[in-house]
Amino acid sequence: MAMTTLAADERAALRDAVNRLLTAKSTEADVRRTMATPQGYDQALWQGLAEMGVTGLIIDPEFGGSGAGPVELEEVMEEAGAALLCSPLFASSVMAASLLDTLGDGAAQARWLPGIADGSLIATVCLTGDQGLWTPDAVAVTATGNTLDGVANYVLHGQNAGLLLVVANTAEGQGVFAVDAKAAGVTVASHKTLDATLRLARIEFKGAAAERIGGRGWEAVDEALDVARVALAGEQAGAAGFLFDMTVNYIRNRYQFGRAIGGFQAIKHMAADLLVEKESCISAARHAARAMAAGADTAGADISLAAFACADSFAKIAFDSIQMHGGIAYTAEYPAHLYLRRARATAFLLGNSNYYRDRYLTLLGA
């Protein structure tokens, strides 16, 4: 990925354009309609994101992308999170695109990145097995030459992907392999999910034909995961901020005992504490993006901090906001639970907070 950062006005324009598109086309009604479809994303909206350059946001212009860096990615993901965007953006345009980038295989990049950039190809990364940890130990696919056997689970949009980038164990550590999702020996099973706005699949490989991409192993995977961590933190920050504002708006306008309930200290104090969470969440995500863009020595630790701080803050805001709303938020019609589902899902999508807390200390040298 380009580590460049757009000029402030260009960045603001990009964010504004994404905001306007999603405000118009990813309304609560759109989200509910889309999450009920088997595919789980709206083709017209996906096309709109492609035309805006968002599907190719972090892809090099050489391959048809916008060439933006982590700072822009984080900002766009804040918008996606706020709108609960249903799309393969994170799976294809972030995870798969950044993995192809870090693997550094020019031929593979030329073959697949243009399709990812214009949205015509959906790619995804198969990493963890049934264990559900995004670590080398959890890889449960084995490569024998160019043949894959084993299981990948929690694969984002696995059921929609044309290209699978499979992390597999080889005789010399991990390697990454390209597999056609329609190839013989590949069985994709869709999961029913806690968060209906996400699509997750379990994929079995039985003698599936594969091509090794580049020569790098886990290091390249971890570098790509850093990009994904920044993006996911941004998504969490955006969603947390939106839900917080919605909740404050509610407690200002909901009257009981002749007063707005936000006037009661029991509620007011929860809101003050959640404001600390919201702002910390935004600060952590943006700082991680900036550190990465600057190639700072602390970037690894900053990204780990964002990974657990944003997951935890979003989850706290999501849980507490339902409580602060009261009965209305216990109804399925009210959108608060959609955010709680997203908070729970994203908190385990690339590992978990305990893992990232430990990793934070490790990267600080402890």
CB 188 to other proteins: min, Å? 36
Helix or strand holding residue 177 (H, E): strand 173-180
User: Which residues 6+ apart lie within 8 Å of 43 measured at CB?
Assistant: none
Q: Quick check: 275 binds other proteins (CB under 8 A)? A: yes
Q: Quick check: 256 binds other proteins (CB under 8 A)? A: no
Q: Which residue has the tokens 């035309």?
A: 51
CB 302 to other proteins: min, Å? 9
Q: Quick check: 352 binds other proteins (CB under 8 A)? A: no
Residue with Cβ nearer other proteins (212 or 268): 268
Residue with Cβ nearer other proteins (114 or 263): 263
What are the DSSP calls for 66-106, one per residue? ----HHHHHHHHHHHHHTT--SSIIIIIIIIHHHHHHHT-H
Query: CA-to-CA distance for 26 and 221, rounded, in angstroms?
Result: 31
CB 294 to other proteins: min, Å? 14
CB 271 to other proteins: min, Å? 6
Q: Quick check: 248 binds other proteins (CB under 8 A)? A: yes
Helix or strand holding residue 41 (H, E): none
Q: How many CA atoms lie within 13 A of 157 on its CB side?
A: 27
Residue with Cβ nearer other proteins (177 or 250): 250
Q: Quick check: 107 binds other proteins (CB under 8 A)? A: no
Q: Quick check: 259 binds other proteins (CB under 8 A)? A: yes
CB 304 to other proteins: min, Å? 9
Residue with Cβ nearer other proteins (155 or 271): 271
Nearest residue to 135 via CA among 309, 354, 361, 355: 355
Residue with Cβ nearer other proteins (33 or 252): 252
Residue with Cβ nearer other proteins (87 or 321): 321
Q: Quick check: 171 binds other proteins (CB under 8 A)? A: no
Q: Quick check: 262 binds other proteins (CB under 8 A)? A: yes
| CB 29, CB 68: distance < 8 Å | no
Alpha helices in 7-67 (DSSP H): 8-25, 28-35, 43-51
Nearest residue to 136 via CA among 127, 123, 125: 127
Residue with Cβ nearer other proteins (130 or 245): 245
Residue with Cβ nearer other proteins (36 or 266): 266
Kindly list the distances between the CA atom of residue 202 and the CA atoms of 112, 188, 288, in Å, as whole numbers in the listed order.
23, 6, 31
Q: From the list 41, 63, 339, 360, which residue makes contact with other proteins (rule: CB under 8 A)?
A: 360
Kindly list the distances between the CA atom of residue 77 and the CA atoms of 55, 167, 176, 286, in Å, as whole numbers in the listed order.
12, 25, 26, 11
User: Which residues 6+ apart lie within 8 Å of 157 measured at CB?
Assistant: 40, 41, 88, 91, 92, 122, 124, 199, 201
CB 233 to other proteins: min, Å? 12
CB count in 10 Å sphere of residue 279: 15
Q: Quick check: 357 binds other proteins (CB under 8 A)? A: yes
Residues in region 282-311 near other proteins by CB under 8 A:
282-284, 286-287, 305, 308-309
Residue with Cβ nearer other proteins (257 or 295): 257
Q: Quick check: 314 binds other proteins (CB under 8 A)? A: no
Total of chain residues touching other proteins, rule CB under 8 A: 33
Q: Quick check: 269 binds other proteins (CB under 8 A)? A: yes
Q: Quick check: 328 binds other proteins (CB under 8 A)? A: no
Query: CA-to-CA distance for 40 and 238, rounded, in angstroms?
Result: 21
What are the E-state strand segments in 184-325?
186-190, 200-209, 211-212, 255-256, 259-260
**Residues forming the site for other proteins (CB under 8 A):** 248, 251-252, 259-260, 262-263, 265, 268-269, 271-273, 275-276, 279-280, 282-284, 286-287, 305, 308-309, 354, 357-358, 360-361, 364-366
